[in-house]
Structure 1
Amino acid sequence: MKSRLELVQQLLPLAATKHRESIEYVHHLRVASRRAEATLEMYRELLPPWRATWIQKQLGRIRRATNDARDDDVLALRLSKDNSSPAAELLKLVCEHRDHAQQAVMDVYERMTRKQGRFDRRVKKLLQRVHIRGKQRKSKEPSFHIWAQGHLRPILDDFFETAQGDLNATDRLHQFRIAGKKLRYALELLSASFDSSLREVAYPLLEALQDKLGRINDHASASNRLERWLSETDDAERGKYLSEMLHSERQQLLESQQRFFAWWSVERQIELRRAFERVVGSDSRTEN
């Protein structure tokens, strides 16, 4: 928990003030804030409720502040590889939007550092107050393995339950991606309490899953943005270029979906489920 919160603290000023040196600062900050949120959620019962809620709320602010900036960075990187005149014009538009999006990152940075660094001070106080709370303080402390097993099980069950839905539906696929992220973050936090085979077998599969779903999400987000820009432009040449780019983006979206469904086979799902069940146990709801 300490290392994940400290990483957010380190990356926030870089993403706010050094973003022109590297687009990765914003990207890494977004990922770090997600991981820190997942950590607080996992160990919530060990944390002072008010402080945990406040810090989790700020992490959400940080993550949301980076969304547009990161989307602009990804699109600008792709456009920079196209030397055509319409691409150059569109790149200029994206860069202007990126400059505007940076204000959200700067605003959240200033919010976190105001009042003599309130965010950093509250993170420090939170970390000083991590301990078992409530009735559990009077009972025998469970081993980390037992505790981890109990906390991983519902996240695992939710993941496979979401996987059973119609993943051709955009909303359902998005829910599945979120469930996969939660499971991956939980595994990162808890894998030390389980047999090494869980990280060696299950984690690479989850990484591959997230990579494929991430590509689908990137193409879907780009398509939505291009559609919006196409509906707003009055320039014929730009409109033609946007139409061509939108067609290409939709084709890549379709291809990325096809690659995902070819990869996410029944055999792959069984392989992943068995990797978890060997060390976590089976879902009691599926035993009968």
Structure 2
Amino acid sequence: MNPQTTSASESIADHAAGVIETYLTEVQRHMKIAVKPGRKSAEAVHQPRVFARRAYASLKVYEQWISDRQQRWFCKQLTRIRDVAGRLRDLDVLIERYQSVSQNEQSSSKRLRKVLPGLRKKRLDRLTELKALHVRLMSEKKYASHQSALLAKLKSRSIQNNAEERYEAFARLRIMAVAEKFVSLGSLPLNSLEVIHRFRIGAKKLRYTLEVLSDAFPEDRFVVIHKTVTRLQDLLGEINDCRLARRRLRKWSAKCFSKKLSQQLKSQLLVEQDRQKSLRKELSAHWNSQSIADFQSLIDDLLAV
């Protein structure tokens, strides 16, 4: 959620500075945790990606108050962090998924015995890449220097007249635009992975924009719509995890020189295919014409305040 609380004397630029500073600082903090020696949990790697997305969303929401040069620099670096941490997190998902195979399923255990070491090796390579990015951006103070310059510029652009009223109107317009795009994407037939992928991206944009601007709306109405979007995004994310797992396994199988390992990878592909099919059925039951209408009503109620 948005950690910033708007006061009557605060301008949009003031609010932007507070939110952006919080998210950019959290990116730094979680990057440091993720690359800490001995840190192996998937959640530790997931957090830099999450906060990079939130920081990116906050920059986009307030882009008219930020110079093009500052916007480009931070968006480029946050995209790098998100992509590297994302590839690492995708491997963690595969490793945790395959480790969870029941030990009494001997055929599955044997099939995955040679798969897991390869995944762990790939994970180590990606972690090395994340550490190098951390050194280049954080340890050399480039990130902190750019952050200070951006915040100083924002605070110098503060406008004080009727700040709260303008902020709430601004927030409604931003949410309206992103929500319209989300509903438009969700109204398409979700009969292909490409359409589902675009819908997932729309859900992420709406969720993070809602979080950036959360304090412009009554908490009770905001919580309902945020939970709805988060639940849907989680389901779409699981479908995407299967899509990425299948793509990675196909590429790995094609490059594999061991016939036995290649067969093991292809067998796991079928497992991911079945999992994805089940999740898509769940999506069809969860998101339909009635749920779209209900969601639109929630948005209308939120923006009518």
TM-score, with structure 1 as normaliser: 0.89
Contact 1:45–1:132 (8 Å) recurs in 2: no
Asked whether 1:118 is paired with 2:123, we answer: no
Contact 1:51–1:126 (8 Å) recurs in 2: yes
Residues 160-239 of structure 1 correspond to what in structure 2 (within 5 A)? 160-239=183-262
The CA deviation at 1:103 is 2.3
Asked whether 1:270 is paired with 2:289, we answer: no
The AA in structure 2 aligned to 1:189 is V
Residues 81-120 of structure 1 correspond to what in structure 2 (within 5 A)? 81-82=100-101, 83=103, 84-113=109-138, 116-120=140-144
Work out the CA distance in 2 between the residues paired with 1:60 and 1:9.
Answer: 14
Match of 1:4 among 17, 23, 44: 23
The CA deviation at 1:234 is 3.6
Match of 2:174 among 151, 166, 181: 151
- Deviation digits for residues 67-97 of structure 1, max 9, x if unmatched? 2211111111122233523312110010111
- Identity percentage over the alignment? 26
Work out the CA distance in 2 between the residues paired with 1:268 and 1:171.
Answer: 21
- Deviation digits for residues 38-84 of structure 1, max 9, x if unmatched? 01111112223322321221111111111221111111112223352
Name whichever of 74-83 and 138-147 sits farther off.
138-147
SS of alignment partner, residue 130 of structure 1: helix
The CA deviation at 1:192 is 1.5
SS of alignment partner, residue 247 of structure 2: helix
- Deviation digits for residues 22-52 of structure 1, max 9, x if unmatched? 3322111111101110011111122233223
Contact 2:111–2:264 (8 Å) recurs in 1: yes
Contact 1:191–1:198 (8 Å) recurs in 2: no
The CA deviation at 1:277 is 0.4
SS of alignment partner, residue 17 of structure 1: coil
Name whichever of 250-259 and 18-27 sits farther off.
18-27
Contact 2:249–2:269 (8 Å) recurs in 1: yes
Contact 1:177–1:210 (8 Å) recurs in 2: yes
Match of 2:90 among 71, 95, 102: 71
Instruction: Identify which of structures 1 and 2 has the higher relative contact order when contacts are C-alpha pairs closer than 8 Å and 6+ apart.
Output: 2
TM-score, with structure 2 as normaliser: 0.84
Work out the CA distance in 2 between the residues paired with 1:239 and 1:62.
Answer: 32
CA RMSD for the aligned pairs?
2.2
Contact 2:33–2:39 (8 Å) recurs in 1: no
The CA deviation at 1:165 is 2.0
Contact 1:46–1:131 (8 Å) recurs in 2: no
Number of residues paired by the alignment? 279
Structure 1 residues 12 and 80, CA gap change in structure 2 (3 angstroms): same
SS of alignment partner, residue 189 of structure 2: coil
Contact 1:79–1:88 (8 Å) recurs in 2: no
Name whichever of 248-257 and 192-201 sits farther off.
192-201
The CA deviation at 1:21 is 4.0
The AA in structure 2 aligned to 1:110 is V
